Amino acid sequence: MPYAIDETHDPNLKSWVESANDPQSDFPIQNLPLCVPRGTEFGAILPACTRIGDYLVDLEALSDSDLLDETLSGPDWDHYGTWEPERRLALRKRLSELFSEGNPELRDNEALRGRVMIPMGDYEFEVPFYAQDYTDFYASINHATNVGSMFRPDNPLLPNYKHIPIGYHGRASSIVPSGTHIKRPIGQQAPAEDGGQPAFGPCKLLDYEMEMGAIIGRGNKLGESISIEEAEDHILGMCILNDWSARDLQKWEYVPLGPFLAKNFASTVSPYIVTMEALAPFRCAVAVRPEGDPQPLPYMDSATNRESGGFDITLEVWLASAQMREQGMEPIRLSKGNFRDMYWTIAQMVTHHTVNGCNLNPGDLLGSGTVSGTTRDSRGSLLELTWDGDPFANPPVLVPGTQRTPIVLPTGEERKFIADGDEIIMKAYCEREGYRRIGFGECRGIIEPAHSS
Ligand code: CA
């Protein structure tokens, strides 16, 4: 296990950056995520940064000083993502030391501090990694069963599901950073009756999917695979992922080759890569498979994966309509789920993805699939959340206005799917007794009307 708990996770560790010591901060000294801000202060150059409390820290500027031996640059992290885990860990330890309460090296070097410490302003962020490829999995059995019940009432969970981490190849070109406005997609929708003409126009059933993304650090050569024991060495860290989904387009196009235009118009990621090192205290056992379920084939099984392949990460989805924002209302929370409920682990996804010799590259993004639990309020998409019925016995149809319970907003507006002007906000964080809470920041996006076709 390359990512162990060490002194950088000590819950008593405090920083001379006061705002990092706020117990509710996503960015205490125990986190130190990677990010790539964009803003006038930075000109055209995109610096590799970390964040502590309410400050960004320019790691490139810091690496120009004699306080840091390494050289870093964003957003491809090509001097970082491909390092051995041991070297990454050494950098984490050094940063932890530099920001620790009582360490004067940077704190008392006013000139250098002025160059590297940037107060958080209204910065926008770039996608914090350079993805050449993006694969989206489907690893929550609760989500797969719910959606399967709607799309295929007689056959919700296909027989391969419990043997293969199901995935499809997504589109890296439309991965966008948090805050990017998303245009409602236009496309073909299923005919009202079998054999009829498809409708064409702006998507009517626009949805989000609450997911986690894993970012590949070191890749593998074409023709070689990554074993389950080595899989986590190849992961740089995690971010929040909103896999925007056009359900009506999806229903019409997904047979026989899977999602296409329903999914590739935008995928939003949070601005920070929370590293695998930072996540070490929040690992957990794989969710127990119900009795009678097959065990993974040996190439996707290891003692380490069984015991600590999971992550205890809480995910929340919030919504603010344009009217709510105009009236100064706070967003409302739609759901709250946990990543530990997944049927397949990230390590199993990496191993399965490469078992045929497919090569992963540094920066590639692996989406987990929608994170849905067993309770209604833990369902990670509106498709599931506004679904009115017994998820296993009374499957509804995908027609707007029928068999769906709308969510009522504080303004009295109702939502079965996303309306123009709605902002979807996803948050994720890790909490565990005896450890300092760390967070992933936010993954936000406002839906704009479709362009006129
Ligand atoms: Ca998805």
Question: From 3.90.850.10, 2.40.37.10, 1.10.645.10, 3.40.50.300, which CATH number describes the 134-448 domain?
Answer: 3.90.850.10
Average pLDDT over residues 196-203: 95
Q: For residue 42, what are its two tokens?
A: 């930075």
> What counts of helices (H) and strands (E) characterise the chain?
10, 27
pLDDT band at 72 (very low <50, low <70, confident <90, very high): confident
Q: List CB contacts of 325: < 8 A, sequence separation 6 or more.
A: 423
Give yes or no for residue 70 having a pLDDT over 90: no
Tell me the pairing of strands 267-269 and 175-177: parallel
The model's pLDDT over 149-181, given as tens digits with 9 standing for 90+, comes to: 887 777 889 999 999 999 999 999 999 999 999
Q: What b/e string do you get for 156-182 counting C-beta neighbours within 10 Å, with b at 16 or more?
A: beeeebbebbbbbebbbebbbbbbbeb
- The Å distance, Cα 130 to ligand 1 centre, comes to 20
Closest CA to 37 of 47, 29, 28: 47
The structure's pTM equals: 0.95
CATH architecture of residue range(s) 7-125: Roll (2.30)
> What residues act catalytically?
143
The model's pLDDT over 129-140, given as tens digits with 9 standing for 90+, comes to: 989 999 999 999
126 class by beta-carbon count within 10 Å (0-12 exposed, 13-18 middle, 19+ buried): middle
Taking the C-alpha atoms of residue 379 and residue 59, their distance in angstroms, rounded to an integer, is 38
Assess contact for 54 and 39: CB atoms under 8 A: no
Average pLDDT over residues 94-106: 97
Taking the C-alpha atoms of residue 383 and residue 405, their distance in angstroms, rounded to an integer, is 10
336 class by beta-carbon count within 10 Å (0-12 exposed, 13-18 middle, 19+ buried): middle
- The Å distance, Cα 370 to ligand 1 centre, comes to 5
Q: What percent of the chain has pLDDT over 90?
A: 77
pLDDT for res 42: 58
The model's pLDDT over 362-372, given as tens digits with 9 standing for 90+, comes to: 999 999 999 99
Q: Where are the domains of the chain?
A: 7-125, 134-448
pLDDT for res 199: 94
The residue among 75 and 227 whose pLDDT is bigger is 227
pLDDT for res 1: 52
- The Å distance, Cα 369 to ligand 1 centre, comes to 4
pLDDT for res 40: 57
- The Å distance, Cα 338 to ligand 1 centre, comes to 16
The model's pLDDT over 346-390, given as tens digits with 9 standing for 90+, comes to: 999 999 999 999 999 999 999 999 999 988 889 999 999 988 644
- The Å distance, Cα 195 to ligand 1 centre, comes to 28
Give yes or no for residue 303 having a pLDDT over 80: yes
Give yes or no for residue 10 having a pLDDT over 70: yes
Q: HEC states along 186-243? A: EEEECCCCCCCCCEEEECCCEECCEEEEEEECCCCCCCCCCCCCCHHHHEEEEEEEEC
